[in-house]
Structure formats: C-alpha cells, structure tokens
Structure 1
Amino acid sequence: MTSIRLPTTRSPGSVLGAAPGVTERAEAHRATGGDAGATDPDALLRHLDASGLRGRGGAGFPAAVKLRAVRDRGGVPVVVANGEEGEPGSVKDRWLLRARPHLVLDGLAHAAAITGAVRGYVYLSDPEAGASVRRALAERAPHLPVEVVETDHTYVAGEESAVVRRIDGGPALPTSKPPRPFERGVGGAPTLVSNVETLARIALTAAHPGLRRVIARSTLITLSGGDAEPVLTEVPYGVPLRTLAAWHGTAAPGGALMGGLFGGLVDARALDLPLEPDALAAAGTALGCGAIRFLAPGACPVATAADAVGHLAAESARQCGVCVSGTAAIRDTVHALAEGTAGPDATARLERWSQTLPGRGACGLLDAAAATAGSLLRAFPERVRSHLRGPCPDCAAGTAVRPDSRGRRLAVPVPEVAMAPTSRIPLPVLKGTS
C-alpha cells in the first residue's frame, strides 16, 4: 500500500490539498478558490513566466514557453491533460486524477484560455481515474468541451506524440519528429500536451498568484524502495535526497534510482544533493517524473539496473530497429552481470552503448535504457567489477534477487482514494499523514 504524507507546513498552494484520501467534489473545490473562469489569461501567463514553473511530466520544460509556443502557432489549438504515467515507480498523476480532478480540469481550462483552444482532452489509462474525471465533468459548467480518452497502460503511451496518435484514433505509439504536437497535433491542430500535475499547478497559480513561487518550486514525489512502504508526498525544491530517504524510512541507503527510470542510478554520496532540477542535472541525474527508489543497505545496484533495463526492453514499442536491438543488448548484458556470467568485455560494450544509442529512437525509451547502464558503471564501478569476477554475494544471499524482465518489483500501487458523496463528510485518517 502507498501512504500519503501531507507537508509539515500547510499551504493553499499545495497540490495534495487538505484531504488527499477523498475525491474532491465541486463544492469543496470552489470553497478553496477553485474557478477556471475568473483569471485573465495574459496575466496568468505572466505569473507562470515569473514563477519559473516547469513541466512535471519528466522533461521539465518551462510551462509558459510551451503554452506560448502553442498560442503563437496560429489556427485553433487543442489542449490535452496527460495522465498516462508510464514510469513504474510513479503514482502522482493517477492519484491527482482520482482525488483532485477539478484542479486538473481547472488547469486545462486555463491552458485553453491562454492558447485559444476551444476543446480539450483528458488522456489516461487508469479506470478509476477515468471515472473520477467523468464525475467531475458532470459537476462542472461546460466552459470547455472535454473528452476523456482511455488507452492501455504502457511505458511509451504517455509520450506526447503517442498521446496525439491515440486521440486521433491510432495506436498509442510514438512518431518521429518533426513535427512536434505544438506544430501539428490532434487533428492537425497545434496541440498542448501537458502533464496533469503541471496543469494542477497552473490552476493553483491562477487561484493564488501571490504564492506562485511556492507553487512552482514544490513538487509531488513518490518515494519507494527498501523495506518501507511507498509514500506519496509534496516537498519544496532544495530538500536533500538523504532527508527524503529518512522521511521515507530507508535508513542509510546505498544510493537511489532517480526519476522513475529516467534519471539513472546514483550512489550514496549523491544523496547529499538537493531535490532541485538544475542541481540534479549538473550531477548527471534527473528529477524526471518525481519518482525516487532508494537502495536499502546491502541491496545490489546491478540487480536494480537489471530490473530497470529489463522492464524497458519489454516495453519497447518495437517500431525502431535500433531500439529493439539496443534495449535487448543492454538487457542481456546487464542481466549477465547480475548473474555473474558476463564476459570481460561487458563493461566496454555498456559504456559504448550508453554514449552512442541516446537520441536514435522515436522516443526516450532507448535513452533511458542507455542512461541506466551508463549510470551503473559510473556510480558503482566496484560492484560491477565484483560481478565480473563471479556471482554477487548479496544476490546469492537473496538481498538482491534475480532480475525481473517485466519490472514488477519496481511498481508502486496508487494510494487509495475514497469517493465522497458530498463535500460534507468525515474525512478518513490517512496512514503516514503528519
């Protein structure tokens, strides 16, 4: 079970809200400042520029720049709330759609007002999230026509060109670029594909512009790994990773798998880094989708890497030959390392692939596999060398287990969200809430 932990300091600019274990109904949402129609679009765009809000889907692109690019493209744009989170260690987007659908829909309406869009979509794969969004739409005035589009849950289904392709009636598979969705997206129109947490923070900025920096510099984080149960929480930028590990319940972690499968592995020394996108990027890792998996003391990072690349190889869209062959080669080599059967040239091959394969596929899946392999070599060279000498004692003792090609051990369950018939009911006590 994944627990929800409220911030120690409460703020009206919190995405978690006051009652994250209950679906927020329209009445409660309006009582806390929710309203998609009362903010001047140009003023809101200036607030977003000043706040420095970055997208929360993984790439961290400035939200105001993305909105402006769609607005300035011409034509009649389309806006899409992207709630299909493919990273196995992340649950924030599905929780948001289940618990705070009105906040996301407000953000979508504000994005439409800024860009000039006249229709929107909510794109997801979680049936409970879909039901929650549809209930919320039925409670709202129809300022913006919105359609819910469901897809199968895969790693690549949330990539923005795959989102466009699925909404247009095709498979949820990435396409080559250009054009990018802001140039030519749904139905050929300029399209904003925005992560649901990004939209929630746009809505909060509209409701509380005086808190714009606080809103932009806080983020939802999924913490997992070790023996502690997963935690979904919201923290400000700047908190040391080591502090988050202690808060999660992983004592003296040996490192972490960062950004879902996007930021690669870091060793224990990197846990003194602050949770801040630029600082993490400068250190060779990434915040990504905000999912961090800590390595318990004694856990084998080689086995963790094998889980990650095995999952990525299994999730390949199988459209790009270089991705199919590249992810399979990385998977097989890292798995051989984990089993103690790799040849002496394994590290040289992994190093070469980590440098030559990124950027060669239609999406970021191959990049993630290559980055994971490269980060393993950089962060844990001695553990890799020990695996070349033979089976790992930690693996043999069962502390780290045989790699799972489907990545099931990396998955995190979505926190439970109760359905509230009205906004005036006793709220449940959430495990782990402070």
Structure 2
Amino acid sequence: MTTTPTASPASAPPALAWGSARLLAGTSEGRADLAAHRAAHGPTHPYDVHRLTMALEAVRLLGHGGAAFPVAAKLRATPAGRRTQVVVNGSEGEPASHKDRTLMRSAPHLILDGAIAVARAVDTRHVSVVVADPAAHASLTAAVRERDDARTVRIVRHAHGYVGGEIRAVTRALSGEPAVPPGRRVLPTVHGVGGHPTFASNVETFAQIGLLLSLGVDQFASVGAADEPGTTLLTVLGDLPHPALAAGAVLEIPTGLPLALLVGSAPGPVLIGGYHGTWLDGPGSLVLSRPSLRAAGAPLNAAVVARLPETTCPLGEVTAVAGWLAEQSTGQCGPCYFGLPAVARTLHQLLRGAAVEDQALARAGLLRGRGACAHPDGASTFVGSALAVLDEEIRVHRTHGHCGRPWQGVLPTDQEGGAR
C-alpha cells in the first residue's frame, strides 16, 4: 500500500492507494491544479456519443454512487440536444463517506474532464456540479477558472441534507423546486433539470469517465476484477489491521480485492455500503466489486466499509445512526415521518435492555417499499441486518441492561463526518 496525501482539512481522513494511484494520481503534493493534472493524466480526446458509449461498455463502468447502474446504458438512454443537461452530484450527505469530497478537493479536473466529455458527446453545454462541502466548492470553482473549456460549467451550492442529495431531489432543486424526491419513479434521463433530459451521476463516476479518456480502454481495464475493471474509492473506518488505516481513510483499491485483506478475516460486525448498507458477521470470502457484492446481498452503495472495534458498544453505534437517519426525513411520507423515529425509539429501548428485538425488526421491515424515495428502504436494510448480526450483543443488553462498553462514535453522525 502506498500513501497519497491530499490537502484536505484536518477533519478529513487521509487519502491512500492500495498499489498504484489512478484516481488520486497527481495529488501527492495536495490539490492538483490544471498543470499538475495534465502532467499526471495527459490530455483527453473528445469522443462522440457512440465511441464513448462503446468505451464505457467495454470497461463495464458502473455508477459509483448508490445504484451501480451501467453508465453506458444511462448514456444511451440520454437524448442528445442543446437543452439536455449534465449534472455532477457532489452532495455526499452521509457523514461516514468522504470519497467524493476527497476527489473534489484534490482532483477536480478529473471530474471536469468526465463531465465535459459527456456534455460534448450529447451535444450540450449545460453542465452543473452540485456540492455541499465548502472546501470542495472552492476547489471546483478554482478549477473552472483554470480551464478554457469549462466556461459554461456551473458550480452550485447544494446543502439540502442526506435525502436532499438524492438525484431526483437534486434535479428538482436545480429546477427551482423544493429539494425533495418527487415521489414518482421518473428517471432524470426522461425528465430532469427544467423538465429536460438529464445525464446525472455522482462525482466519482465522472472522475472514472475522465480516467477512461486518459488511459483508454485497454489500460483502464488492465487492473481490477473481470466483472468491474479498474479501481474504486472506499471510505474505511474502525478497527482495521493496517496501521495506516487505523484512524480511517479514503482508500483507492483495485476492484476484486478480498474484503478480508482490508478488514481482517476474524468474525465480528462489518458494515458494507454505509448508512443504507448491510451488516455482516465478518468478511467471509467476499471480494470488493459491485457486481459480486450485490450478488451476495451486500451492495457497495456509498462505498463505506467499517469494522467496529471491540472497545465500542455496537448496538450503541447502530442506534446512533438510526437516530440520525430518522432526523434526515423530509417529512413527505409516512415511512420517513413516523416509521424511522419509531424504529430509532425501539432501538433505544433495546439498548437499555428491553426485550423488543422482534418489535424493532418488525418496524424496520414495515419501512421497505413504501417511501417516496429509497431512504426508508436503506434504513430498513441497515437496521434489519444489524439486528441479525448483533443477536448475542442484544442478549447481553437484555441480561444486564448494557454491555459494559461505551459508545465511541466510530460511525460518525455529525455532518462533517471525518475519521475516528
């Protein structure tokens, strides 16, 4: 593993690469300005929509936000035209995740390379980058000023919370509407910003597109897993066996890395995917690629991987996050407004030793498939999988009213996030 430091604020985790850095290349001295970016990645070459789609398909690029949707299919579904919109979603509202903030702060030009390439391919100049983090906003604003081909790129402050960062909420906000999901399953490629077709994805996806334009198909696919070539960024937290990762980090890895190499092979609570993710009792034989993790029922989602140390109360960690998830409700549907607080209250009772695990599991299950967006579904998965993994921990709390360990806040619930 090689270390790649960035110029992130002290509250942010360091950035490291497992092997050779690709997305993080050129950031060892801090934020890569345009000259440093071109020295690391070289020039990009315009691709028409057909060539870009074929290249994306050849490397099997998936979205690096939550849904892991094939990027080539999304591009193919986006009508070309002067009113078509391109949206880079840099909201990253989950406190545990720092990967997109790291890219925006340290490698803004790689993101812009990808966004501008997509805009050219679909014959539009409408590119918007939405971002909540002030340091990331400053970095991207400076990057736009550093290059001639970004004069029409808008950098938009978007501090509307976790659910407000959902892509349909983002496109509504950019259209001058409330930053809440619309409650109907209309894709942005059909009806996005201002009612126009919109190609929208998260920050790392656009950086991956920029990297593909720099490396070409063969070199891009020369590392990583066969089902998802290349590298990917993770935010890692908790009790990890590598000294450099002990306090948490943003880590670039080749896809296909065995999970046990990262978190150790011992059993114990491991979270895959962040606060809409899945708890496992140890890494088993899982490997870190989106297709394989989805097939195993533990999607990578926000690309957060955490192993809880034995010094913290795991039920306390889960309860704190469940409370935070309840606070993120926009209040537009019952499962969020009533259901999530009810789940959080039941977990607090469980934490104090009440025999309410069946009630907690039932309440979490009632959230699924009933919300205006995926927030209740994600919270249900997080809580339900935790209850399954922490059955022995729950028995200890029921017997003694506590487990004897303090809650250390390994899983952050403050908006700044940060490593612990």
> Common fold, TM-score beyond 0.5?
yes
Q: Which amino acid aligns with 2:417?
A: A
Corresponding position of 2:163: 156
Q: Cα distance, 1:387 vs. partner?
A: 2.6
Give the structure 2 partner of residue 118 of structure 1.
125
Partner of 1:317: 330
Distance in structure 2 (CA, Å) of the matches to 1:327 and 1:135: 40
Given candidates 345, 363, 384, the residue that maps to 2:373 is: 363
Give 1:336's match in structure 2, choosing from 349, 352, 355.
Answer: 349
- 1:138-180 per-residue CA deviation (whole Å, 9 max, x = no partner) reads 1111366111110215111220111111112233222112322
Question: Does the 8 Å CA contact 1:108/1:199 hold for their aligned counterparts?
Answer: yes
Aligned 8 A contact 2:276 2:301 in 1 = yes
Structure 1 runs not aligned, ≥5 long: 415-434
Contact 1:252 1:297 in 2 (8 A): no
Contact 2:63 / 2:71 at 8 angstroms: preserved in 1?
yes
Q: Cα distance 1:386–1:33, how it changes in 2: closer, same or farther (>3 A)?
A: closer
Aligned equivalent of 1:411, options 410, 413, 417: 417
What residue is the counterpart of 2:383 in the other structure?
A: 373
Identity of aligned residues (%): 36
Partner of 2:363: 353
> What is the CA–CA distance in structure 1 between the aligned matches of 2:18 and 2:203, rounded to whole Å?
24
- Alignment check: 8 A CA contact 1:78 1:117 kept: yes
Map Cα deviations across residues 306-358 of structure 1 (whole Å, 9 max, x no partner). Answer: 12211100111111122111101110111111122x2x3x2222332343321
Once the two structures are superposed, the pairs formed by residues 391-406 of structure 1 within 5 Å of their partners are 391-395=401-405, 398=406, 400=407
> Structure 1 residue aligned with 2:339, among 320, 326, 333?
326
Cα deviations by residue, 1:74-120 (Å, 9 ceiling, x for unpaired): 77310011111011111111111111111101100111123333211
- The range that moved more, 122-131 or 151-160, is 151-160
Equivalent residue for 1:198, pick from 205, 210, 224: 205
> 125, 128, 134: which one pairs with 1:127?
134
- Report SS of the residue matched to 1:61: coil
2:177, 2:44 → 1: CA distance? 31
Question: Matches of 1:236 and 1:254 in 2, distance apart?
Answer: 24
List runs of 5+ in structure 2 lacking aligned partners: 1-10, 241-245
Q: Aligned partners of 2:172, 2:120: CA distance in 1, in Å?
A: 24
SS in 2 for 1:370: helix
Partners of 2:154 and 2:304 lie apart in 1 by 28
Contact 1:226 1:294 in 2 (8 A): yes
* Alignment pair present for 1:266 and 2:280: yes
1:251-298 Cα shifts (integer Å, max 9, x gaps): 957222221112122112x35421122332233222111111211125
Aligned 8 A contact 1:101 1:136 in 2: yes
- 1:423 aligned partner: none
In structure 1, how many angstroms separate the alpha carbons of the residues matched to 2:150 and 2:134? 25
Distance in structure 2 (CA, Å) of the matches to 1:289 and 1:392: 31
Aligned AA for 2:413? G
1:178 equivalent to 2:185? Answer: yes
Aligned to 1:432: none
Distance, in Å, in 2 between the alignment partners of 1:381 and 1:410 is: 31
Aligned equivalents of 1:225 and 1:8: distance in 2? 18
TM-score normalised to structure 2 length: 0.87
2-side partners of 1:285 and 1:410: how far apart? 26
Structure number with the bigger relative contact order (C-alpha 8 A, sep ≥ 6) is 1
The question of whether the paired residues in 2 share the 8 Å contact of 1:338 and 1:403 is answered with: no
Aligned partner of 2:5 in structure 1 is none
Provide the rounded CA distance (Å) in 1 between the counterparts of 2:237 and 2:48.
Answer: 40
Match of 1:308 in 2: 321
Q: Shift in Å at residue 371 of structure 1? A: 1.0
| Deviation at residue 374 of structure 1 after TM alignment | 0.9
Measure how far apart 1:373 and its partner are: 1.7
